[in-house]
Structure 1
Amino acid sequence: MNKARAFRPLRVFWLFLVVFFSAPAWAFQTKIVSIPSAAMHRAFDATVVLPADYGRGNGTTRYPVVYVLHGSGGNYADWTSNTQIGKLADRYHVILVMPDGGHESWYIDSPFDQASRYETYIGTEVVSWIDTHFRTIATRQTRAITGLSMGGFGALRIALDRQDTFGAAGSISGAVDPRNSEDEPGIDRVFGNPAHHADFWTRNAIVEDASNFEHAHIALTIDCGVSDFFVQSNRTLHEKLIALGVPHDYAERPGGHTWTYWSNSIRYQVLFFATAFHQNGWHGPAHLA
């Protein structure tokens, strides 16, 4: 009998044990939850990612929360389907929440469509539900919101309108001037006819509302790809914030309006938020000190 062959199963068994016990015992948890809206009389799905250590210990540790909004035509599953965003929950020990904002809601409470109350839903109802059902640190200092494209606009709009709720905000390839998106199918349903309601379009454009960041004390990060069709409006917003003396991070990187760009950008934004949380007194990962 070949001794080497006889002992091979034993060596395989020990190799299995070494690999099993050296691999991480925990990983981030992804949950799909249904969050009701009293404002819109229905419920919407949302993706929640919990860091690996959420389930460890005695279950009393609380975590900061980063809300991440999808773009036009998207839904609550976009970020987890197209990126590895879940790993960021583990890396920075934060809860990530990706709510559903409708296909073309622009995350506003529309005066033209009484059934579209997405700013109230995301900015108030979702936040309250998450704080009730998960172990969050329910303060503005440990709560951030960001998003891509339409979601970038929505994140900044919601943060400006709810400064007591969000202490940090970001925009990735943000449509910070919706007047550049008049041809977007369905946008006039929530913003109204641009010819008849130009004042509403202008009043809600982030580039025209930059001065409200001056006293908001929001940790702010904005980025856009150099080949993105929204890059000029993002530059305009950046220049206005500089002129106003508003502290903010601004970056342009190679890339366009694509998931390749967004999946890279979100890594920088969540790091920015985790650092802001730490500066506000959250005792998270030591390497953020």
Structure 2
Amino acid sequence: MKINFTILFFLLGFSLSFAAKVDTLSVPSAAMGKSIKTVVITPEKGGNNMPVLYLLHGYSGDYGNWVNKVPALKALVDQYGYMVVCPDGGYGSWYWDIAGNKDYQYETFVSKELVNHIDGKYNTSKERTKRGITGLSMGGHGALYLAIRHQDVFSAAGSTAGGVDIRPFPNNWEMASRLGSYADNPEKWNQHTVMEMTHLIKPKSLEIFIDCGVEDFFYGVNEKLHEKLQYMNIPHRYLTMPGAHNWDYWSKSIHYQMAFFHEVFHKPTEPAKK
């Protein structure tokens, strides 16, 4: 007897391949005078007014890291039904705008140029309540940094294994070449580290979810940020799990991150006050 495995898999509820569509775009940046490679993952049944999660890579990474290192990401996009956008953040950009350096205007690119391009090209929701941002390591810091500075653009921010306080690492990851040395420019470093930006978070403006592995070298700064947010009565979720600063941990944590954003995107809106 011949068996039609396609029909069998359909009846059993399996898929022979990921249905999510993966595009690689070259997104123009007027601020930097160049195009930036960006991966866009679209759910099979996204429909109109799709929510969007901007997902940032870490130091020395690139736009293809997430989709290539974590194949389950495509299944998660189909499961939750929202878009994931992974821009290239340059080498050691930390997603900052650096004055006088046209090659490093990644705050403007991600929070303005990229968002406008994606909203113009795809059937996305234009409401900030349907737009979030997260990332790993450098991208975790970048996501919180951008969300705090652009609360009119993003309603939710996440960080997985994020370098959420850059000051304990003054000689690492190209930061001194962007900001000058910490010894000579302490105020500039304070302005560019998430740990010193918590006072800018407006009440009920941002949903925040932070996670980190307990063997991670960024675990200490994540603990400190969690404690500070608690002290300042800023609502947030904080998750720690076994794991180090590697893709084994990040491929697990993305499941929690995406579930969080799905909840945020489907949170009932409060009725307008009369």
| Structure 1 segment 180-191 matched on structure 2, within 5 A | 180-191=168-179
C-alpha deviation, 1:179, in angstroms = 1.2
C-alpha deviation, 1:61, in angstroms = 2.2
**Local SS of the residue matching 1:45:** strand
Give the structure 2 partner of residue 104 of structure 1.
92
Q: Deviations over 1:122-176 (max 9, x none)?
A: 1100000000001101111000000000000100010011000000000000101
Out of 222, 225, 228, the residue aligned to residue 237 of structure 1 is 225
Q: Deviations over 1:44-93 (max 9, x none)?
A: 11110000114xxxxx5221000000000000000011112111111110
Give the structure 2 partner of residue 287 of structure 1.
none
Aligned equivalents of 1:206 and 1:16: distance in 2? Answer: 52
16 and 273 in structure 1: CA distance in 2 versus 1, 3 angstrom threshold: closer
TM-score (normalizing by structure 2): 0.92
Out of 2, 7, 11, the residue aligned to residue 18 of structure 1 is 7
Out of 151, 154, 159, the residue aligned to residue 166 of structure 1 is 154
Q: Which one has the largest radius of gyration?
A: 1
Is 1:64 aligned to residue 46 of structure 2? no
Is 1:31 aligned to residue 23 of structure 2? yes
CA contact (8 A) 2:59 2:173 kept: no
Out of 37, 58, 81, the residue aligned to residue 68 of structure 2 is 81
Q: Deviations over 1:190-242 (max 9, x none)?
A: 12222221111112211122222253610100011101111111111111111
Out of 203, 207, 214, the residue aligned to residue 215 of structure 1 is 203
CA contact (8 A) 1:141 1:280 kept: no
Gaps of 5+ in 2: 270-274
Give the structure 1 partner of residue 41 of structure 2.
49
CA contact (8 A) 1:34 1:43 kept: yes
CA contact (8 A) 2:97 2:104 kept: yes
Task: Output the amino acid matched with 2:36.
Answer: F
Out of 226, 232, 251, the residue aligned to residue 239 of structure 2 is 251
CA contact (8 A) 1:214 1:244 kept: no
Aligned equivalents of 1:170 and 1:133: distance in 2? Answer: 25
Aligned equivalents of 2:148 and 2:159: distance in 1? Answer: 13
Task: Output the amino acid matched with 2:8.
Answer: V
Task: Output the amino acid matched with 2:40.
Answer: V
Aligned equivalents of 1:214 and 1:245: distance in 2? Answer: 11
CA contact (8 A) 1:163 1:216 kept: no
CA contact (8 A) 1:113 1:189 kept: no
Give the structure 1 partner of residue 124 of structure 2.
136
**Local SS of the residue matching 2:35:** strand
Give the structure 2 partner of residue 264 of structure 1.
252
C-alpha deviation, 1:251, in angstroms = 0.8
| Structure with the bigger percentage of helix | 1
CA contact (8 A) 1:71 1:148 kept: yes
**Local SS of the residue matching 2:39:** strand
TM-score (normalizing by structure 1): 0.87
Aligned equivalents of 1:153 and 1:106: distance in 2? Answer: 7
Is 1:175 aligned to residue 167 of structure 2? no
**Local SS of the residue matching 2:266:** helix
**Local SS of the residue matching 1:34:** strand
CA contact (8 A) 2:48 2:125 kept: no
> What RMSD over aligned residues (CA atoms) do the two structures have, in Å?
1.7
CA contact (8 A) 2:31 2:102 kept: no
Is 1:113 aligned to residue 101 of structure 2? yes
